[in-house]
Structure 1
């Protein structure tokens, strides 16, 4: 009778009560293991630079066979350098964009890959919205260079994904990638790159919202383009300054931190001019190490902000210490 009354009370499960009745001790109630979620949250990281708000937006990741893509080295050397940091090829590689809120302008630097690199990329819109902004709010978009993983997110189908934004790109890149003559001469994968560039920029060209610039150019107060031609004919980096603090966004000045910081001479097959790209990288490393300003790059591991310092014959990378905004 006592067992029946306890069951009716609902205070104890039948399995526990059975243990009490048979052994005089509580029985352990078994539960199935929780299923794995197997998804990640949209990626953004926010910090302040003087009076400017900087939000790093993840477009996702892509696995790259960097032992085959990196040049002026060997696969063995690449493998050894990666292993030092518990990495291997194919290397899971971040694709990042940067949102700068100056207080008067909302500026996006690079736009991610959109639909052009498969399902592991193209996450920028969800990251942007999760960060508290909408694509209609973007005033300006500055492109480091016109490879598809940097411009693909500009479009949604055949429409502008950022309907109110002006897109600014160094004229050396627009002249090269939007040239019908270059498209006609190209073959294979190169032809596809020209076709993608023309299609992606088309809605901005048609509405007069593609504005090219040339070389070192101030764009909005506190944000300046700095020519770093080499990776592509018009590759640019962007210097952001507020209240004496500086952030320099490198685009594709470098790709593989575990390899190219220690040995800046290592280049990559994607470079239009590998010698010029190496010279620009060496110059940027030295300047960042000397002045100690903050760095961000498209393919550094998310959230891709940190500092560079000299180490031996090369350089080393120190990620920004995580600190949530108050």
Structure 2
């Protein structure tokens, strides 16, 4: 639990999406898929649109993770009424950095004119967004820093092959073309006094849960030595994800509630995992928060990985009333990380 003597508050959130929304019909047209395929996507995935950081017609990249993360971070700082000079710490979570070196977090910091402070980049799937909160809130609560910029995002379209024959792909590769999108988000956290009108971070949870479990998702990098590898750049075991994610999400919610002594009826807002619309619906039913308003975005943004939590937070911050409590849950299916956080807005520490 975060040290109650140094309350960490969420001042603001900002997000960025590349280009215009791309609906399933546009994807079907580009890849030559028929109406039955579109109906399959609508029924079993449910995602209506996604944003891609490439030109769907040519495959040419348009925006990088650094581009999107910089825009999201600038928005978050502006909404918090702060400048880059006010930031003491930057943490970025991503599964798809632009380069292995330099770290994308440092490219973003440079573009924002941030220097002379600690920066961290966490390599993780969807739970990386929560891990940024874990690292930042722990350092802020310890008194080492006062204001942190946390960022999450992914550009998965770099793995798209716009010439692919989707009809010939196995399900573990095909699903990546309809599930995912690109985007970035950021939030400003602070322990500075005078922000009782901002929600407090009550607890942050991250747990590796992959012992003896095969990865549910694999994303590969290739170098010169293995660039001709027959292994696909990305793949999913969607059946394992369907089975395990609801179970792990329920474990997260139970642990957060037990940690804080909250009851399910105490929670006014639920930010569930955002793999797809259909999976989110299933998870929300499993979590069973009877009075909570669901805060979801995946139907419009697609699954943009580490950006998702920030899109949810952006909506949450505009909706929270005093007093109210919110629980967020995120599950990474690569080697199975369960994570979540709890926020409370009550006008006092």
TM-score of the superposition, structure 2-length normalised? 0.32
Which structure's residues are more often strand, by fraction? 1
Which structure has more relative contact order (CA 8 Å, sep 6+)? It is 2
Which structure's residues are more often helix, by fraction? 2
TM-score of the superposition, structure 1-length normalised? 0.33
